[in-house]
Amino acid sequence: MSRPARARFPEPKLITASDDLAAVVERLRSERFVTIDTEFVRERTYWPELCVVQLAGESEVAIIDAEAEGLDLQLLAPLLDDPAVVKVFHAARQDLEIFLYKFGRLPVAMFDTQVAAMVAGFGDQVGYDSLVSALTGGQIDKAHRFSDWSRRPLSPAQIAYAAADVTHLRDVYVKLCERLERDGRAEWVGEEMACLSDPVTFRPDPDGLWERLRPRTGNRRMLGVLRGITAWREREAQRVNVPRQRLLKDESLLEIAATAPANADALSAMRGVSRGFADGRSGIGLLEAIAAAQALPEDSLPAAPRKDGPRPSPALVSLLKVLLAAKCEQHDVAPRLLASSDDIDRLAIEAEPEIPALHGWRREVFGNDALSLKAGQISLGVDGRRIRLLRP
In the chain, residues under CATH classification 1.10.150.80 are 206-295
In the chain, residues under CATH classification 3.30.420.10 are 13-202
Phi/psi-derived region of residue 57, left when phi > 0, alpha when psi is between -120 and 50, beta in every other case: beta
* Arithmetic mean of pLDDT, 153-167: 93
Predicted confidence band of residue 309 (pLDDT cuts 50, 70, 90): low
Q: Which amino acid is at 84?
A: A
Predicted confidence band of residue 140 (pLDDT cuts 50, 70, 90): confident
Dist CA 303 CA 224 (whole Å): 9
* Arithmetic mean of pLDDT, 340-356: 94
HSE toward the beta carbon, residue 174, CA cutoff 13 A:
17
Contacts of 182 (CB under 8 A, 6+ apart): none
pLDDT, position 84: 98
* Arithmetic mean of pLDDT, 300-317: 83
pLDDT, position 2: 41
DSSP annotation of 365 reads: I
b/e sequence 110-129, b meaning 16+ C-beta within 10 Å: bbbbbbbbbbbbbbeebbbb
Range from 94-98, 191-195, 297-301, 314-318 carrying the lowest mean pLDDT: 191-195
- In this predicted structure, the answer to whether residue 254 has a pLDDT above a threshold of 60 is yes
Whole-structure pTM value = 0.85
Sign of CA dihedral 284, 290, 296, 299: positive
Q: What angle do CA 292, 296, 298 make, to 5 degrees?
A: 155
Predicted confidence band of residue 6 (pLDDT cuts 50, 70, 90): very low
Average pLDDT of the chain is 92
pLDDT, position 5: 41
Dist CA 33 CA 30 (whole Å): 9
Q: In this structure, are residues 355 and 365 in contact, taking their beta carbons and an 8 Å threshold?
A: no
Q: Kindly indicate whether the domain formed by 206-295 is annotated with CATH number 1.10.150.80.
A: yes
Dist CA 168 CA 113 (whole Å): 12
In angstroms, what CA-CA distances link 350 with 310, 342, 359, 360? Answer: 10, 12, 16, 19
> What percent of the chain shows pLDDT beyond 70?
96
- In this predicted structure, the answer to whether residue 10 has a pLDDT above a threshold of 90 is no
Domain 314-390 CATH (choose: 1.10.287, 2.60.120, 1.10.150, 1.20.1440): 1.10.150
- In this predicted structure, the answer to whether residue 194 has a pLDDT above a threshold of 90 is no
If one counts every other C-beta atom within 10 angstroms of the C-beta of residue 98, the result is: 20
Contacts of 232 (CB under 8 A, 6+ apart): 285, 286, 289
Dist CA 146 CA 315 (whole Å): 45
Dist CA 375 CA 168 (whole Å): 48
CATH code linked to domain 13-202: 3.30.420.10
Dist CA 330 CA 17 (whole Å): 52
pLDDT, position 20: 98
- In this predicted structure, the answer to whether residue 35 has a pLDDT above a threshold of 90 is yes
Q: In this structure, are residues 9 and 60 in contact, taking their beta carbons and an 8 Å threshold?
A: yes
* Largest distance between two CA atoms of the chain: 72
Please write the tens of the pLDDT for every residue from 97-115.
Answer: 999 999 999 999 999 999 9
Predicted confidence band of residue 269 (pLDDT cuts 50, 70, 90): very high
Predicted confidence band of residue 366 (pLDDT cuts 50, 70, 90): very high
CA torsion angle for 71, 102, 132, 21 (degrees, to 10)? -20
Phi and psi dihedrals of 279, rounded to 5? -85, -15
If one counts every other C-beta atom within 10 angstroms of the C-beta of residue 305, the result is: 13
pLDDT, position 47: 94
Predicted confidence band of residue 186 (pLDDT cuts 50, 70, 90): confident
If one counts every other C-beta atom within 10 angstroms of the C-beta of residue 158, the result is: 20
Q: What angle do CA 87, 178, 125 make, to 5 degrees?
A: 65
- In this predicted structure, the answer to whether residue 1 has a pLDDT above a threshold of 60 is no
